Amino acid sequence: MSSLRIGIIGARRHVQGLGPYLARYLAAAGAEICGIVGTTDRTLAEACQQLQTDYGLKVRGYLDMAQMIERERLEAVAICSPYRFHQAHLQTALAHHQHVLCEKPLVFQPDRDNVADAQVVVEGFRHAGRVLMVNHQWPYTLSGFARCYPDLRPEDPLQRLEVLL
């Protein structure tokens, strides 16, 4: 069985981001963390160094999400960027047929109908047969998710993911 190839968007612990923690725990669960996306060369270098120093993860850095997905032949991405970028990152992930774990909120833009925007995103992933999961630290909702999407199961589902902060 090969490891799931994952990229992290927003892998630095700026403000309250969970990127480095998700990278660490996804790797501990057996995933291969192949690359990360940052916004500047400086912050990208810092994030790569932090992941290697703190968790022993040697990853390649990218400034472009689509480029990372293509070059690293990813199967999934974890979107840990600031919320204002989530919608664009979700659209890129969907265009590249990625499974996604996204930090909450799924989408949010001031002065927009965020429920309608989120419904478009969810329907896009459903139609493509891709898993879209929002990380909201409430694992008791997983049974509800399974009831809503009984046919949406990856070929090799992750059996357990435990995150302790």
Residue pLDDT, tens place only, 135-161: 866 555 666 667 777 776 655 555 565
The pLDDT of residue 165: 41
Q: What is the SS3 assignment for 18-48?
A: CHHHHHHHHHHCCCEEEEEECCCHHHHHHHH
Q: How far is CA 79 from CA 33, 107, 150, 157, in A?
A: 13, 11, 24, 19
For the chain, strand residue ranges (E) read 5-9, 32-37, 60-62, 76-79, 99-103, 132-135
> Under CATH, domain 5-148 is a member of which superfamily?
NAD(P)-binding Rossmann-like Domain (3.40.50.720)
Residues 10 and 79: beta-carbon distance below 8 Å: yes
**What average pLDDT does the chain have?**
85
Delimit the domains of the chain by residue range: 5-148
Which of 145, 137, 132, 64 is CA-nearest to residue 102?
132
Residue pLDDT, tens place only, 27-46: 998 999 999 999 999 999 99
Residue pLDDT, tens place only, 4-29: 999 999 877 655 567 888 898 899 98
pLDDT of residue 71 exceeding 50: yes
Q: Residue 30, class by beta-carbon neighbours within 10 Å (0-12 exposed, 13-18 middle, 19+ buried)? A: middle
The pLDDT of residue 159: 59
Whole-structure pTM value: 0.78
